[in-house]
Chain A
């Protein structure tokens, strides 16, 4: 079922998709106009992107958005501005579709930004406000970001034994130099197709510095894999590409992330989907992704020095407990033990801590050993 929906959405032609988005958009505007002209309080329904409205589908092993929705009214002191912003960005999306162009999130922020006539108030205080409203718009219209003709900034790099076609250009990811291929924000089949793949698995690392270490050591050549990086919490483009490679090329995904609540949550998002974007889990989540490390036991196992310890803050501890309590973590004894072990350690560790052993310890010893021993968390 999941696949069907995905395909039905992605296989729509551009004009079909635009027609769908336009229909949704005009529907929203019509409803607002109707209530307004009837002297009532206009509102839009925004599905709630909250933990409470997120369920873990055990069968699919992904997060799903529930049915709860929030009504955003104009005549409510706390919601009036958001309501106005929603309408404003809605009209912005419409003009993008009309013009057949796409804008970055930042570009859209600027498009909607102006001073309200007769006041000193700006429509948006910062880009975060606009980004949040755009996510609301996605869920309330049931259209994906790319269907709104929007994209995020690039944040993610790939290199490895694979050749892809990006907007008609053939990209050989074996010949990307030291910088790698920048994964675009939109990785739908109409933009990116896979031409040739020899790699046997995907190693995803948390951030660019670690990725550079692996690339310089030609790890992907030696182990015949694809090496990706998502700049911390991977953006939708990276997740979408990984998911497609995992699905379409049948490549297992291994993650090398920091031993801290942040790293744990990155893994959780890649595997199950995020609370904020639960509605996109079916396109983004990789339920079979594995967590290679860093593990709490590595401090002893790898005989690391005291210098690599970074004390857990109050926030970290709370966050770790929060993560451990997520429904999709509660049943995983190994994960409960892992988080416990970290809390017992009282410190976190970054992937870079392995460099204290040797510059290439992580690429030459740590990851190969884990892979060989099939020593990972699921």
Chain B
């Protein structure tokens, strides 16, 4: 222990002796306010502008998010153009000498310059708001309200413009037409980072006959920036594809810069597959369980309501007079107590009481889920899989904020069979591309036991198979892990909902996979009979001179009927159940129709695999994948054409494809009719209740008599 007497004033150090001493006064000369813009200009990674690749994506994303929000809010079916142009001739000196367009043939080089153009058919922007929206960070309509929307903070598009300005020195160009009969406004904005506002460089009024906006209104943003265009995972391409999946009500036109594959650039149009706008979510007031103490104090200071009772009932959702009264009484304050008089201590008590009060969960009309039908459409169009199951959970609440989790599984088709499943993550319909492993949805997928649903899964990681897992969180406030909105924070409530939704889809997948296995067996069965009948007819004819053709025809007919009978499933009471119908009747499931050609392919693959196994070899990956590719759906149902459940007419939707009725829901219900009844010609007879014969008849070993 140092003696207190030894404590002395600190001696001046070497450094301080040489340099003039820094005083509070000198320091004060350097202390000044930091504008938000400056902060983010230095910390652009916080907003998703870490590197040129990501910057390009973030710019497109922010612009598209805004466009979609605007269109939907205005009740317009969005029609959005995304164009990325390679600016081959730099007009301002960039940090490195500009690579000429010879690089365009190869993968685009870093430091290339692009002009990102995003145009929508939305309501347009009023002239005087243009500077604020595009030039000011943290300016927007979405931050203060509790309403589900893609954008939240009002940072995105202005940050993109700022990034463009920093990297290329080019201002942002905005053309907006807010009324069909008024001329479009063209504004060129240059951001002043130190002041967090934008200066208008030029302003032009376009003549009224401007054909840029055929729908009468709309907004076009052009930002030039240093970026890097690439394809594949986490690219703009992927972003556009995923956005199209989650927003099938939107028509996207997407034009890429030149690539090796498309030297002229590639123009893709993602047509609309749903003609209804998502239900426009309502704005809600904060829920008592969803606020922090500071928020409460702030609200008390700002409120126009004089009494506590009025404050609680008017400023919060789900708080009625009786709840307000209970809250006030529990802290010993009158309901008529003035909000202005609430002390810090009282506020703390009130906050505690609020948290403990029994309040209904927040209303959920503030949420607009994608919905099962739309998800099916989006996944089907985007992935062309053989099977899709989707699930939309009932609303739940985290920290007083309502949210809805939706999940989807797409399986088969051209999806890669040997790779881990892809996880498509969405928050309020916006795809999340970065920081997958930090995301709650990723954890939910890898924590789900996919082995239960017939998938392979290395311990603690993603399932392996031709599968895409889609997870969507719709909420008035999605808890992102950072401002760049890349990953959903891992709240237990959220992850649990995600897991429940995944399990729901997983169960349906399992049913489908079981059915597919059974179908393989059925296909094999069919093909076994068909293959051997010719040989048999010929051999018998050789022995006894019977007409081979007549035998063949007769056997063929029997074979068809037999397979049909075998493919039927009987339930416990001996009634024929059609699992295909059951799965098909499920509105949240899509099964790709399967034709006769597929069945033969399945059987041949199976035979090949068996012979491969016999020869000691494993079935090749090709065989495996084609097995997967082949043995898919059964139904001829198109999701769009599906009449409401219960009203579907089987015969109408499935014309004369009797042989296709084969699936069974599970091994347990596998039943076969007694062979003695085969003599009756179709319709197949039903066995007496309670009598079951197992599908595969065991060899009969009779005891010698």
Please give the residue numbers on chain A whose beta carbons come within 8 Å of chain B beta carbons, in ascending order: 25-26, 28-30, 32-33, 36-42, 48, 50, 52-55, 66-71, 74-78, 80-81, 83-84, 87-88, 90-91, 94-95, 116-121, 123, 125
CA distance A341 to B221 in the complex (A): 97
CB-defined contacts of B525 to chain A, threshold 8 Å = 77
Bound CA–CA A36/B544 (angstroms): 14
> How many Å lie between the Cα of A42 and that of B536 in the bound state?
10
- B512-548 interface bits toward A, Cβ cutoff 8 Å, 1 = contact, 0 = none: 0000000001001100110111111111101110100
Query: Considering the complex, which residues of chain B in the window 689-705 have a beta carbon less than 8 Å from any beta carbon of chain A?
Result: 696-697, 699-705
Q: In terms of DSSP, what is the predominant structure of the interface of chain B?
A: helix
In contact, B697 and A76 (Cβ under 8 angstroms): yes
- Taking a contact as CB atoms closer than 8 A, the residue among B529, B544, B702 that contacts A26 in the complex is B544
Q: At the interface, yes or no: B679 with Cβ under 8 Å from chain A?
A: yes
A-B contact pairs, 15 of them (CB 8 A): A36-B555, A41-B558, A41-B675, A48-B702, A52-B701, A69-B702, A70-B699, A74-B532, A78-B697, A80-B532, A83-B536, A84-B532, A84-B536, A116-B535, A120-B608
Complexed CA–CA distance, A165 and B528 (Å): 50
Q: Are A90 and B703 in contact (CB under 8 A)?
A: no
Sorted nearest first, the 7 A-B pairs with minimum C-beta distance are A66-B704, A68-B702, A29-B543, A87-B539, A29-B544, A84-B532, A91-B542
B542, B557, B679: residue with the most chain A Cβ atoms closer than 10 Å: B542
Cβ–Cβ contact B554 & A121, under 8 A:
no
B703 partner, pick from A28, A68, A71, A80, beta carbons under 8 A: A68
A94-B700 CB under 8 A given contacts A41-B675, A77-B528, A81-B532: no
Contacts of A91 in B (CB 8 A): 538-540, 542-543
Contacting residues of chain B (652-705) with chain A, CB-CB under 8 angstroms: 675, 678-679, 681, 696-697, 699-705
A80 close to B701 (CB less than 8 A): no
B-side contacts of A90, CB under 8 Å: 539, 543
Asked if A75 contacts B536 (CB within 8 A), the reply is no
Q: Give the residues in chain B near A33, CB-CB below 8 Å.
A: 540, 544, 546, 551
Between B539, B699, B705, the greatest number of chain A beta carbons within 10 A of the residue's beta carbon is seen for B539
The 8 A CB mask of B602-614 against A (1 = contact, 0 = none) is 0010011000001
A41-B678, A75-B559 in contact; A120/B544 too (CB < 8 A)?
Answer: no
Return A5 CB to nearest CB of chain B, in Å.
19
Within 8 A of A (CB), among B255-310: none
| Contact yes or no, B704 A74, CB < 8 A | no
Q: Is B127 an interface residue (CB 8 A)?
A: no
B559 contact set on A, CB distance < 8 A? 75
Q: Are A52 and B703 in contact (CB under 8 A)?
A: yes
The answer to whether residues A80 and B529 also contact, given A41-B678, A52-B704 and a CB cut-off of 8 A, is: yes
CB of B34 closer than 8 Å to a CB of A: no
Known: A26-B543, A68-B701, A87-B540. A39 touches B681 (CB 8 A): yes
Are A125 and B614 closer than 8 Å at their CB atoms? yes
A74 x B544 contact (CB < 8 A): no
Q: Give the residue of A30, A52, A88, A125 whose beta carbon is less than 8 angstroms from that of B539.
A: A88
Q: Indicate whether B74 reaches chain A with its CB closer than 8 angstroms.
A: no
Is B201 an interface position by the 8 A CB rule? Answer: no
Residues of A within 8 A of B604 (CB): 119-120
Residue of B528, B554, B607, B608 touching A36 (CB-CB under 8 A): B554
Within the complex, what minimum Cβ distance (angstroms) separates A192 from chain B? 31
Whole-angstrom CA separation of A50 from B544 in the bound complex: 31
| Number of cross-chain contacts by CB at 8 Å | 132
Taking CB atoms and an 8 Å cut-off, the chain B residues in 158-209 that contact chain A are none
Given contacts A29-B543, A41-B678, A91-B543, contact A67 B535 (CB under 8 A): no
In the assembled complex, the CB of B694 is this many whole angstroms from the nearest CB of chain A, namely: 12
Q: Are B529 and A74 in touch, CB under 8 angstroms?
A: yes
Residues of B within 8 A of A (CB): 521, 524-525, 528-529, 531-540, 542-544, 546, 550-551, 554-555, 557-559, 561-562, 604, 607-608, 614, 675, 678-679, 681, 696-697, 699-705
Question: Judging by beta carbons under 8 Å apart, are B551 and A36 in contact?
Answer: yes
A142 to B367, CA, bound (A): 80
**Residue from A26, A39, A70, A83 within 8 A of B558 (CB atoms):** A39
Which B-chain residue is minimally distant from A26 (CB atoms)? B544
Chain B residue at minimal CB-CB distance from A78: B696
Interfacial chain A residues near B544, Cβ < 8 Å: 26, 29-30, 33
> Residues of B contacting A117 with CB < 8 Å?
534
Residues of B within 8 Å of A55, CB to CB, are: 704
Contact yes or no, A74 B555, CB < 8 A: yes
Report the Cα distance A30→B540, complex, angstroms.
8
Chain A nearest CB from B422 CB (Å) reads 35
**Neighbouring A residues of B678 by C-beta, 8 Å:** 40-41
Which B residues are in CB contact (< 8 Å) with A38?
A: 554
Once A33-B540, A71-B700, A91-B539 are accepted as A-B contacts, the answer to whether A121 and B607 lie under 8 Å apart by CB is yes
Q: How many angstroms from the CA of A53 to the CA of B535 in the assembled complex?
A: 31
Given A77-B524, A116-B532, A70-B700 contact (CB < 8 Å): yes
CA distance A55 to B702 in the complex (A): 13
Task: Flag if B697 contacts A94 (CB, 8 Å).
Answer: no
Given contacts A29-B544, A37-B550, A37-B551, contact A74 B536 (CB under 8 A): yes
When distances are taken between beta carbons in the complex, the residues of chain A under 8 Å from B705 are 66-68
- Rounded to whole Å, the gap between the CB of A42 and the closest CB of chain B is 8
State the CA gap A39–B559 with chains docked (Å): 9
Contacts of A95 in B (CB 8 A): 542
Across the two chains, which residue of chain A brings its CB closest to B526? A77
Cα A69 to Cα B700 in complex, Å, equals 8
CB distance from B608 to the nearest CB of A (A): 7
Docked-complex contact A88 and B558, CB < 8 angstroms: no
Report how far A52 CA is from B701 CA in the complex, Å.
7
CA distance A36 to B678 in the complex (A): 13
Given the complex, which residues of A lie within 8 Å of B704, measured CB to CB? 52-55, 66-68
Nearest chain B CB to A136 CB, angstrom units: 13
| CB neighbours of B614 from chain A (8 A) | 125
Complex: chain A residue closest to B521, CB-CB: A77
Rounded to whole angstroms, the CA-CA distance of A71 and B702 in the bound complex is 11
Q: How many Å from the CB of B308 to the closest CB on chain A?
A: 78
**Nearest-Cβ distance from residue A135 to partner chain B, whole angstroms:** 16
A87 engages B535 (CB within 8 Å): yes
A41 CB → nearest B CB, Å: 6
Determine whether the beta carbon of A25 is less than 8 Å from that of B543. yes
B696 contact set on A, CB distance < 8 A: 77-78
Contact A94 B701 (CB under 8 A): no
State A52–B705 Cα separation when bound (angstroms): 11
Beta-carbon nearest neighbor of B561 in chain A: A39
